[in-house]
Structure 1
Amino acid sequence: MAANGREALRQVREAMGPDAVVLSNRTVEGGVEIVAMRDTDLGAISSNAPVFTPPPAAAVAVDGALGDLRGELQTMRAMMERQFSGVGTHSLPSIGADPLRDSLFTWLVTAGFSGQLARSLLGHLPLGHDRPAAMAWIRQELARKVPVLNDEDALFAQGGVLALVGPTGVGKTTTTAKLAARFVLKHGPERLALLTTDTFRIGAHEQLRIYGDILGVPVHAVKDAADLRFALAALTEKHLVIIDTVGMSQRDRNLSEQIAMLAGVQAPVQRILLLNGASHGDTLNEVVHAYRHDATPDGGIDGCIVSKLDEATHLGSVLDVVIRHRLPVYYASTGQRVPEHLELANGAALVERAFQTPRRGSVFADAEAARRAMPAQDDSEATRAASPGGADGMLRSLTDSANAVGDCVEQLSAGSYGFELVRSLWQQRNESAPSPRLMAQQVREAACRDLTRHCDRFVLSLSATVATPVAGRRAPRPWQHTLFLADRDGLPLAAAAAPAGRTGPALQGGQGGWEADAATLCAAIAAARTVVNVLDAMPAAPVLARWQQTGERWLATARKTTRVASGGAALKLDALAETLTFHAVQDMDYRGRDAVQWIAQSPVRVLEGQARGTRSIAEGGTEAGLLVSRVVDRENGQTLAVHYLLCDPALSAEGAQLARWARWAEAGEAQLRTLRHALDHLGQGDGGNEPAQAEAQACARLLALQMGVAALRLEQACDDSVGAFLARLTGRAPTRQPCGGAVLVEGIGRLLALLDVLENYPARGARATQPIVQEASPQTFQLGGAGGVLEARMSGSRVFETLAQGE
């Protein structure tokens, strides 16, 4: 018994050693109860239950309990598979939405879309959507991704030659007649002519000629490239010529000759590929490759027409292919009637049709669907009897995995990584009505506590402006990402993100909502410590003036050719450095070489006009402090690197500290990329116009930023054991190199998702843990409810088993 799960597990390890097996846990009055037993006693329990209790019914009860345990473990494994299957290997899982993602993944694949596209969509699905909202968002995204012909009049107005190409039986001749009829209805028959190269198929020429007679349009047959050139030369007075080509398999060696025939004419030819909407996705993919790349090195397919929509059972396959190849869809053919069954392509209508197509259960499932439907293991009595180890091996395996998860969570919670805050925000984000104001207040309070622990007098601010796409806007919106570091050791403390156009470069004066929260966070940090803005270039005069008013300082990297005024003369920084006196400040390792850092300082005035002779040194400028840092090889005295820094005059006394800050700032670009990675996974847009959407997006943004900060702290700490475990959760093989921030972000997200599934497991707490087998000693052995036992994740063909204990 203990107040929480972590303390109870500690007592178990002290009493029974690290190999103890946890059989159950449950919440009781005053804390948590964990029932455990020694590893050496497992065999006695499973093979000879009467050792503990004489009644024979006990053995039956044990077998039944083990069967229940296996069943619950399989259920929990299925939950974890659903939790991770809806996203790519390198994407974060949805927050507390495993059933939703699983159902959406199945919905997309059933409609014919590939698992790759389904995972990509679900990886970008905004958080906080219920199923109807998520389905609407997916439909909108798919419609946006399907390229279509927006203006039929423009196609007909440009005239020229249209050649319909494609495999045999895809409907080229009928589609030629439909296009001709649409043109005649708008522009009359006098300006149109039809050609056919299909002299192989019996009756093909006669079929097109009948259509031509009905429309009053001339039809000509050509046999080779010379005939085609002659016919087109004779039809120069026609505004539009449509060519019905002979159907060829994508694997036909003569395909390149047919394409070459079309390319050999003088008039420009638009080649339109017909795709059979009822074909398998792999077949369609092969057709596009053959006609667009293999047979035409110039990539000469201008668009496509989707035919046989009335026969398609999985229309998503053809839409997946056109999205993947960015192939514009001109028309959609929905039947045999001319011209009624040819529609101008509309992305939203095609996507809606893909999901509304009635279909029955298919026996031709893809490999992943078959794997997901396949039983996890054979639970027959014979298999269980023959299985070496039986319950012993199963529980030992789960216990080993439990120790790994428990150790990872314990180390993350015990270290200065901010994991407890991240987990709290994660849990609040799962609530039906999360409060971004409350979450923002927790972030501010945590940031202020960390400032007190890790900062002396200053806090460093690194910023980057990122162009971020915004739904409904053609042009991306600039966002500013800001990361705050401790002046003592460079520890990442907090992060903020806001549109640069709204709050300005320094995140001042937000306009309410989450923008105000970002500004309030920056203000709270500035109130606790002096902010030093670390830059890669000299700031502009208006920015310096604003920082002067708010009491902020600045430190900027400068080029050696920067001109400054010093001692009444205008000099470049490298020339001025030759006149300064350097002194050694510290030993350091520079790219694997034993080195010493030397610095020199001098007050300067940075000239406004940097071109020689443009201004007098007496005119204007910015007062600054100059610090020159030289890194010298200790062994041979060779200068390995020289850095020039300009700073606020108030920072001149900091000396060697400035050089350290500049070194930390060199890694700032990679750190800001980690923040961007976290925001891209968990949402960064404007959040929409609806208050509920904006609040959900604000909560996701706060969570993403804190996950990024936690990952950066973990990366800086170089905790190999935790990093390797988080990398395995993302499906990456362990490497000798430390994990990068992006991998750690994903690993933390998957760990939280794993714990979330455990806490929300339906069987957890549903059963009271009743002792089945007891011994007359003070130690109690129990087998029963498996709440808290978790078999987690599938990675490729290998099962990564994880057991975690809830608190």
Structure 2
Amino acid sequence: MSVAKFVAANGREAMRQVREAMGPDAVVLSNRTVEGGVEIVAMRDADLGSVQATAQVYVPPAPVAEPTAIGDLRGELQSMRAMLERQLAGISPAQSAVPSAAAHGVAASDPLRESLFEWMVGAGFSGQLARTLLARLPLGYDRPAAMGWIRTELASKLPVLGDEDSLFAQGGVLALVGPTGVGKTTTTAKLAARFVLRHGADKLALLTTDSFRIGAHEQLRIYGDILGVPVHAVKDAADLRFALAAMKDKHLVIIDTVGMSQRDRSLSEQIAMLAGVPAPVQRVLLLNGASHGDTLNEVVHAYRHDAAPDGGGIDGCIISKLDEATHLGSVLDVVIRHRLPVFYASTGQRVPEHLELANSTALVERAFLTPRRGSVFADADAARRRSAGTDDEAPARGGADEVLRSLTDSADALSQCVAELNGAGLGLDLARSLWQQRSAGAPALRAMSQQVREAVCRDVTRQCEQYVLASAATLQVAVPGRRTPQPMQHTLWLADRDGMPLAATVTPTGRAGQPLGEAESDAASLRAAMSAARKVVNLIDAVPTAATLARWQQAGERWVASARKTARVVSAGAAWKLDALADTLTFHAVGEDTVREREAVRWLASAEVRVPDSPVRGKGTPEGGIDACLVVARLADRATGELLDTRYLLCDPALAQDAAQVARWALWTDAADARLRTLRHAIDHFAQDAESGHAAGAALAALQLGLAVLRLEHAPTAAAPAFLARLAGRTVRQGVPVPGTVLNEGMGRMLALLDVLEYYPGRGTAVPAEAMEVLQ
């Protein structure tokens, strides 16, 4: 049997030696990085038959009931939590007589319902609503299932406006009412902007009855001028009737009313003024999401019943100041109790971005996700506990309760999150394996680097059609032992098919040095491995220098550079500015897109050009330069033909046949800076606690964890981003992508939780590997 070892400076040279010695059908047995280059062990294809004849048949091990093992772990955590809750509840004799959840109708012998009661009340929901729901809680639910059931029940009882078009389509008059300072004027402008975007400014008019607040009319008039919508002020019922009669040709009129306290005796006069106009008026009440529940309840009752005894005072509501709310459950509780439809939710001051169509599920989820720090305005039960002298016991109980509750809840949700991430193929399994080996020595580090290269080669082969894209930027990085930050080149490798991040490298610039986290191999070897599978295309901000271009041409690499419209090139023997040359080209439609809620068509044109070495002056045509292909991509409104965007790109002439691809790649580079900052944050975040002497392993693991986060950011899964944000203690807004820095923080906490569950001290031993496969 002929088995031989070949060592060369790189993989290409080693494979050349293999083919020369053993023929093109040789079988590669191993491939690893060694000092001085790459080592390949191979054998002749003819000798493979003898190996196959003596090989033993593999018999897979008997299957193991994995869900049962992990289920036993969750059961132990839940039982231990319930036992400690009962024991801690009886620490103090005085505490047993203190009214708590039991005093509100929730049995103290049922720790699950007691903890759920406190969870709901802590989010701002009333004890009455909490008791009502918990009385209907199905039997047999664990805490995560019960929490999910409660969220679903609350969302089903929260009436919302299902379709914005139905509100605008019926037209007529829409009046915003509510107490002072609740945000009626700003909300009026937001509604007007949303209407104008859909139906145009000529079908809308704005009125204000606020003649008391200084500058109220002027503020609304400024918004009206921006939108091209007329704004008028009225003083009394007669003025209002006259103004509405003059605006009967308008499809919708929005009225910004004067703010009035729910206890103001003039409130009934305002409602009567709105009821006295000939056209039907929809009255929409603004509720301050940051207000106390009792105040909100009084506001709704006053505007709906006291000011309008027939009960027809309010048609719906808008919840404002969600960004300021600490107990959002209070306003949701009031809305549910009064069966008041929620039209919109306001989350800030920006017009019109910070106005969202109400979504019952998102509002309920936000109520429970809103971070709440310790409050001096505690509820009555907490106050009575302090007055009973149980301050020493309370922290102990609360701390134990929160730790146990966190472990119990996380066991199920964490396994689902990790399974979802692994199923998405984001490379988390490799990243976590590297994370667990980050403190290993140099031999393990070499094996880790080999794992990374093999994974990258597999991903490049699987996800790239013809090319692999390289986007690089230089960032300043703090280096231990140096006074000033060191410039480091961060390179992100993307798939040409969809822009999915495939690999990342970090290398010092300006001098030779090892890239961060690649102890034995450098970025050049990883680049060579990828270029052996696919052509490399460098995405850059400017046309490359002659030296850089020569280096890329020698390696068989391509390039794409962004260019300004005023840049000059040579075409057909004449010098042109890019925008002028573009006007002479023939464009072809290559696809459709949506930009700022406008349907658009993408148009493409290309031409062979030469980029001169020196600036073009006068009418002369300079000699020399770089041959390139000009790609011009235009985005035009589908209905009107209005030009929305134009991009000018210069690329390697070899890419002339792939002009449409080049235009797509340019769009992906828009997010390159943000992606590289996320990668930098991941390196700093995950490698910050690295022990002395293990920085290289920690940096390699941090780099791969950052890459997994970038992939999740590029292709979000259904539930994992929200779960990671929750672990990071951040609030997630429905439909808004979770920032990469938040995903980094959540990923770090997820790794810590996995370590806790894997080495759960209550079991005395580590969790069996077959059980951990559910979490890995």
TM-score of the superposition, structure 1-length normalised?
Answer: 0.46
**More RCO (CA 8 Å, sep 6+):** 1
Structure of higher CA gyration radius: 1
